[in-house]
Amino acid sequence: MHITHALVAKGTFVLCEFSALVDNLLDVSRKVLGKVPRARGRRTYVYESKTFNYLVDNELIYMCVGSAEAGSEVPFQFLDDLREKFRREYERPAMGGASKSAELTRMVKSLMDDYNQNFGLNRIHKVERELDDVTDIMKDNIQRVMERGEQIESLMGKTELLKGESVRFRMAGRAMKRSLWWQSFKSYLFILLIVTCICFVLGSLSCGGLTFSRCRAFSIFSSSSSSLSGEPQGGSTVVGDDG
């Protein structure tokens, strides 16, 4: 027998209780009940080969005594079920003139019998639930891995696309640079041509037209004047007296 004693109390006042064995569990449970804190929570006390497990919720204490073989998970599952059944039974009016305490006691006994008779099935159900949980976790992990793989493939594709775009951008930048250099060169060449034409036009206007006749005549006159100024002047000679 794995659950041997169970009760529901408010503080130290017991609302319902059932014990499957006649021993000193009643006295020990009362001592443990006096030590249970009123704050919400759950805990286990160990006494000899028994575990005293309690759950505090909404100022009510749900406590059961279990064997060491039952561990701690089965008693707390029992306490969770006891809490739910107690709430439903406590809120429902008594049937057939029976007292509410008697109905609650029968409910506790029925729940204890169910857990003690189906302990092996409960263990199997527990293993099945754990397997289902593990299966769900594995499915979730596989789904995440698949989604992550798709994301990695998408990122790799985007990386390749960005690499191609960067290569095309560099090529376009170089072509743009050459185009700008050539446009700048043509601009400088055009400006030089314009300046040359302006100088030519101004020179032709100042020199008498496109034949530059005035400038050439001035050049000839200047050269003639230079040649004449280089000859000796006069034909007089100094004659000395003989003797």
Joined tokens for residue 109: 């006994």
Could you tell me if residue 111 is inside a domain? yes
Please tell me the total count of domains within the chain: 2
Residue at a domain's end among 84, 117, 150? 117
Joined tokens for residue 170: 């560099």
DSSP 175-232: HHHHHHHHHHHHHHHHHHHHHHHHHHHHHHHHTTSTT-HHHHHHHHHHHHHHHHTTSP
Indicate which CATH number applies to the domain containing 87.
Answer: 3.30.450.50
Could you tell me if residue 51 is inside a domain? yes
Q: Is 25:4 a contact under the CB 8 Å cutoff?
A: yes
Could you tell me if residue 191 is inside a domain? no
End-to-end CA distance of the chain: 182
Joined tokens for residue 175: 């072509």
CA–CA dist 51, 219 (Å, integer): 134
Could you tell me if residue 40 is inside a domain? yes
CA–CA dist 132, 71 (Å, integer): 22
Could you tell me if residue 158 is inside a domain? no
Joined tokens for residue 9: 């109390």
> What's the sign of the alpha-carbon dihedral 74, 75, 76, 79?
positive
Contacts with 26 (C-beta within 8 Å, 6 or more apart), sequence order: 5, 19
Residue at a domain's end among 67, 96, 117? 117
Q: Is 122:129 a contact under the CB 8 Å cutoff?
A: no
Asked whether residue 158 carries a pLDDT value surpassing 90, the answer given is no
Residue at a domain's end among 101, 117, 133? 117
Could you tell me if residue 138 is inside a domain? no
**pTM given for the model:** 0.47
Mean pLDDT check: name the lowest of 24-28, 54-58, 100-104. Answer: 24-28
Could you tell me if residue 110 is inside a domain? yes
Could you tell me if residue 42 is inside a domain? yes
Predicted confidence at residue 100, as pLDDT, reads 81
Mean pLDDT check: name the lowest of 59-68, 123-132, 139-148, 191-200. Answer: 123-132
Joined tokens for residue 192: 């030089």
Mean pLDDT for the chain overall: 77
Q: How confident is the model at residue 56 (pLDDT cuts 50, 70, 90)?
A: very high
Domain carrying residue 212: 197-226
Sheet containing strand 50-57, edge to edge, reads 13-19, 3-10, 60-67, 50-57, 41-47
